[in-house]
Amino acid sequence: MGYNQENYRRIRETYRTKYLKAYDEADRRMREVHRQSKELEQIDRRLAGAGAEIALAAIGTGAAYREKLAEVERRNKELQARRREILKELGYPADYTMPPYECPRCRDSGFVDTSMCECMRRELILAAYESSGLGELMRTQSFESFDLEFYAPEGGDRARMKQNFELLRDYAERFLPGAENLLLCGATGLGKTHLSTSLARRVIDRGYDVYYTTAVGMVSDFEHARFGQGMERAATDTDRYTECDLLILDDLGTEIANQFTQSVLYTVLNNRINLGRSTIVNTNLTGKELQTRYADRIASRILGEFKPLLFVGTDVRRRKLNRR
């Protein structure tokens, strides 16, 4: 899977800390109950030495070995039973001195055998939501909340949008790094942002690194990286634009057109195409307007390397307001 590496390293370190914290708490609890019961302390010492006794018994063979092993196991069971009784008498649950793991399944290691535990997978997904750039859009926009009823059945608008909806949902379900690039084009308010957000959400859920931003936001990041001062410059991470599994660039055409912005756009698109990394571009511009606004080297990459999806209808947001 293509989890964001910064998120992965941070969460992996969090799990190491949780694991050690659970053991430290178990040690503290052990000292606590030992202060209250010397008998319990003696039992724990005997149980701690049981492993060595079993190892010594394993050296033997035949009936003598089996008898010795059975004797050690019988005594351990008796000690464990007495231990539980003492803890109960002191007012503690039987497992009080065990490490209090947040996830008993993986014991706060993040892995069960060699497979990632679901608890760690959830943490990575939540972190991916936070770092994706989607913010509050994630809470309200999904494939389930997309309503085709807002598109008129006459004229083929609803049929075209149903086709777009199904293609994008299928793209999200089947996404693998290197999937084809998409160009979502059409007027404002026709669902480009809603469906691309829905797609991003599903791709993140499936364990891939997605970054969602506007053309204006992307140019601003590169400006800070190049011209910023001190902490502002150091905090700007433009590598994300090249390294993420899926980049979704919204509102292409709203950025100020100048030599710097054209250079940024060309660099990002060209690098991703050359590296075989997937990109989705949303724009209100037509193909002709893209050719007029951008240099040939940019327009040719967008129109030649991206599959176009035309969004049609009338402004859905206005239709929603009219229904209220």
Q: pLDDT by residue (tens digit) across 159-197?
A: 999 999 999 999 999 999 999 999 999 998 899 999 999
- Residue 111: phi, psi to the nearest 5? -135, 145
Give the pLDDT mean for 145-169.
Answer: 90
In degrees and rounded to multiples of 5, residue 279 shows phi and psi of: -140, 140
- Whether the pLDDT of residue 130 is over 80: the answer is no
Overall pTM surpassing 0.75 (yes/no): no
The predicted model gives 141-164 an average pLDDT of 88
**Number of residues that this document lists for the chain:** 324
Question: For residues 210 and 199, is the Cβ–Cβ distance under 8 A?
Answer: no
Q: Name every residue whose Cβ is closer than 8 Å to that of residue 92 and which is 6 or more positions away in sequence.
A: 33
**Contact status, residue 196 vs residue 280, Cβ threshold 8 Å:** yes
- pLDDT score, position 231: 43
Average pLDDT over residues 136-156: 82
Measure the CA–CA gap between 220 and 227, rounded to whole angstroms.
10
**Of 1-15, 78-92, 214-228, where does the model show the most confidence?**
78-92
3-state secondary structure of 71: helix
The answer to whether 165 and 195 are in contact (CB under 8 A) is yes
Condensed to tens digits (0 to 9), the pLDDT of residues 208-221 reads 888 888 999 899 88
Answer left, alpha or beta for residue 160, where phi above 0 means left and psi between -120 and 50 means alpha: alpha
Tell me the sheet residues that pair with 112. Answer: 115
Spatial CA neighbour of 298 closest among 268, 256, 276: 268
**Residue 113 identity:** D
